[in-house]
């Protein structure tokens, strides 16, 4: 079947997540993180969102824009299965999809008009900063929430790791949170508690120091005796990190 109408982005998502490594694998896992959906022309008109404020949550349909060039795969290796067992692409939420389309439900905090743009303030998103939004729809509780649904391999929420901060980092957090990074500690804890490392590394001794980019900060951490230790926070030296973890599929399920 041939599509006769070109799909274009209606908005752009702005989030603290500057690289794919470390982004929550599902929406709703890091509720402290705030972001914004900026409507783009010709959709940048307050009438396009008239009445949306009556909903507490919205659906965002978006493009996995940084994965499109890599194509799609018939099967993927979900982290939930340790990265060793394969499932079909349509049985997962892999980012490597035939049309590169994702969907997330996020909390809507408000609708603003700033510098000529209509902006939706959201939280609990799992989107990379700069993600193109293809459509916005209201979340309807009576039809979208199915109480007896079966979740397959992802029926239960992920088990979270314990996160601790080095003494020097505690002092840094207080300084940064007084500046332009509200809820920074809670965001770091939420992101790292999911242990964003590749699945095959989680069962082995792993002395490596990792880095997650949030806002324009690099969060440096490592795992010691199954506890995640945040060792340092520094201003990012790379605008868009490009390391081996960026190739991981953050949303396999």
> What confidence tens digit (pLDDT) does each residue in 60-118 have?
999 999 888 888 989 988 877 777 789 999 998 888 899 999 999 999 999 999 989 99
CA distance 64 to 109: 24
* Residue scoring higher pLDDT (188 or 177): 188
Are residues 192 and 82 part of one domain?
A: no
Question: Domain containing 228 — which CATH number?
Answer: 3.30.2310.20
Q: What is the mean pLDDT of residues 189-207?
A: 86
8 A C-beta contact, residue 49 and residue 120? yes
Residue 85 belongs to a domain: yes
Residue 253 belongs to a domain: no
Q: Is the pLDDT of residue 243 over 50?
A: no
pLDDT at 246: 37
Q: Is the pLDDT of residue 245 over 50?
A: no
Q: What mean pLDDT value characterizes the chain?
A: 88
Q: What is the mean pLDDT of residues 51-63?
A: 98
Q: What confidence category does residue 202 fall into, taking pLDDT thresholds of 50, 70 and 90? A: confident
Question: Domain containing 31 — which CATH number?
Answer: 2.40.30.70
Are residues 242 and 225 part of one domain?
A: yes
Which tokens in the block code for residue 216?
């324009």
Report pTM.
0.86
Q: What confidence category does residue 9 fall into, taking pLDDT thresholds of 50, 70 and 90? A: very high
Exposed e or buried b per residue across 76-111, where buried means at least 16 C-beta atoms within 10 angstroms of its C-beta: bbbbbeebeeebebeebbbbbbeebebebbbbbeeb
CA distance 98 to 122: 28
Residue 108 belongs to a domain: yes
Residue 6 belongs to a domain: no
Domain final residue pick, 125, 152, 179: 152
Are residues 116 and 227 part of one domain?
A: no
Q: What confidence category does residue 157 fall into, taking pLDDT thresholds of 50, 70 and 90? A: confident
Report the number of distinct structural domains present in the chain.
2
Q: Is the pLDDT of residue 251 over 50?
A: no
Q: Is the pLDDT of residue 248 over 50?
A: no
CA dist 193 → 25, 36, 172, 235 (Å): 12, 24, 20, 22
8 A C-beta contact, residue 6 and residue 60? no
Per DSSP, helices labelled H in 25-166 are 141-144
Among the listed residues 132, 157, 127, the one whose alpha carbon sits nearest the alpha carbon of residue 19 = 127
Q: What is the mean pLDDT of residues 37-51?
A: 97
Domain final residue pick, 134, 152, 170: 152
Q: What confidence category does residue 238 fall into, taking pLDDT thresholds of 50, 70 and 90? A: low
Are residues 22 and 60 part of one domain?
A: yes
Q: What is the mean pLDDT of residues 224-230?
A: 94
pLDDT at 3: 56
8 A C-beta contact, residue 188 and residue 230? yes
Among the listed residues 240, 27, 6, the one whose alpha carbon sits nearest the alpha carbon of residue 124 = 27
């Amino acid at each position: 079947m041939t599509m006769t109408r070109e799909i274009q982005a209606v908005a752009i998502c702005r989030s603290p997540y500057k690289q794919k490594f470390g982004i929550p694998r599902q929406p709703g896992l890091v509720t402290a993180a705030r972001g914004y959906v900026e409507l783009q022309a010709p959709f940048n008109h307050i009438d396009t969102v008239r009445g949306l404020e009556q909903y507490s949550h919205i659906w965002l349909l978006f493009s996995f824009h940084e994965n499109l060039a890599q194509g799609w795969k018939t099967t993927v290796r979900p982290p939930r299965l340790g990265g060793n067992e394969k499932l079909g692409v349509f049985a997962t939420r892999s980012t490597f999809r035939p049309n590169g389309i994702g969907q997330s439900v996020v909390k809507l905090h408000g609708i603003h008009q700033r510098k000529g743009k209509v902006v939706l303030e959201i939280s609990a998103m799992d989107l990379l900063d700069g993600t193109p939004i293809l459509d916005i729809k209201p979340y309807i509780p009576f039809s979208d929430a199915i109480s007896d649904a079966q979740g397959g391999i992802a029926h239960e929420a992920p088990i979270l790791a314990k996160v601790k901060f080095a003494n020097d980092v505690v002092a840094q957090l207080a300084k940064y949170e007084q500046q332009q990074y509200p809820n920074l500690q809670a965001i770091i804890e939420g992101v790292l508690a999911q242990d964003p490392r590749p699945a095959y590394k989680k069962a082995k001794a792993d002395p490596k120091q990792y880095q997650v980019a949030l806002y324009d900060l690099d969060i440096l951490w490592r795992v010691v005796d199954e506890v995640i230790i945040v060792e340092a926070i520094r201003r990012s030296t790379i605008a868009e990190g490009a390391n081996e973890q960026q190739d991981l599929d953050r949303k396999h399920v």
